[in-house]
Every structure is written in C-alpha cells, then in structure tokens.
Amino acid sequence: MSRLIGWIVLALTAMLPASGFAAAPGDETMCRACTAIAHLQSCDRPVAGTIMIRGRVTGIDPGLCSQFIKFDPLRAAELGLPQHIRLDLGPCAVWAGRIHSLVKIAIAPRAYSPSGEYSLACRPW
C-alpha cells in the first residue's frame, strides 16, 4: 500500500509545472513563484544593452503578477521616450523607494506592449 501511495505522489509531482508557478484561487493567470523578493530603490547593476535613465517615480500600480512603477523620465524627448511610462518590475521585485523620488534606473530599449509599458532591466543581486 505504501508503494502505491509513493507512486501516486510521484505521478502528481511530475504533473506540476517545472518552473514554479502560482495563482490565486479562481484566477486563470499563472504567475511565477519567487524564492526571494528584491526590494528596489534604484538601479546599481543594469543589464547589458539597456538604457539608463533618470526620472521621477510618480506612483505604483499593482499588476496581475507584478508591480508597475509610474515613471516620468527626465529629458524624455531627447531619449525618444514618452513623458510618462510604466515600468514592469517583474514578479520577483517590489518598489521599496519613495514616491516622487528622483532615481536612476535601466529599462529595456523598447516597450514590450502597445500601451507603452517597459521592462525594468536591473539585476537586483
């Protein structure tokens, strides 16, 4: 009997997603489960090939699987950016800085959505 239970547990474990996803009950969206959460206040370690910009954090929006920073880049026109952008922090990071603070961050070179959302391109660790 214990062998049968062992095989059932093994079979059920094999059916779980390998990358570690979690979703709220009743929610059909699968969000990545994180082993650690980065608390970001600025970007000290940008990803290679990204754009470093300075600007003001004007607010935080909750997303389905992440937070979005409302961000007003300084010299937006010179950089070819909109005056107001939303930065997706990703599923394993939260904003720990102050609203209305001036920060330097890295973003992906292009918006990833038609609504102008950019991905934050900082290595937290």
15 falls within a domain: no
Residue labelled with tokens 């391109």: 121
Q: Is the pLDDT of residue 8 over 70?
A: no
Helix (H, G, I), strand (E, B) or coil at 41: coil
Inter-residue contact 89 to 40 (CB < 8 Å)? yes
Q: Indicate if the pLDDT at residue 9 is higher than 50.
A: no
Does the model's pTM come out above 0.75?
A: no
Residue 50, domain member (yes or no): yes
* Chain segment 25-61, per-residue pLDDT in tens: 445 568 888 889 999 999 989 999 898 999 999 999 9
Instruction: Report if residue 26 sits inside a domain.
Output: no
Give residue-wise pLDDT tens across range 87-100.
999 989 999 999 99
pLDDT of residue 62: 92
**Domain count along the chain:** 1
Chain-centre distance of CA 51, in angstroms? 17
Q: Determine, yes or no, domain membership for 90.
A: yes
pLDDT for residue 20 is more than 60: no
The answer to the question of residue 87 being in a domain is yes
Which residue in 116, 113, 61 sits closest to 89, CA to CA? 61
Could you tell me the pLDDT band of residue 19, with boundaries at 50, 70 and 90? very low
Q: For residue 90, is it left (φ>0), alpha (ψ between -120 and 50) or beta?
A: left
**Residue 113 pLDDT:** 77
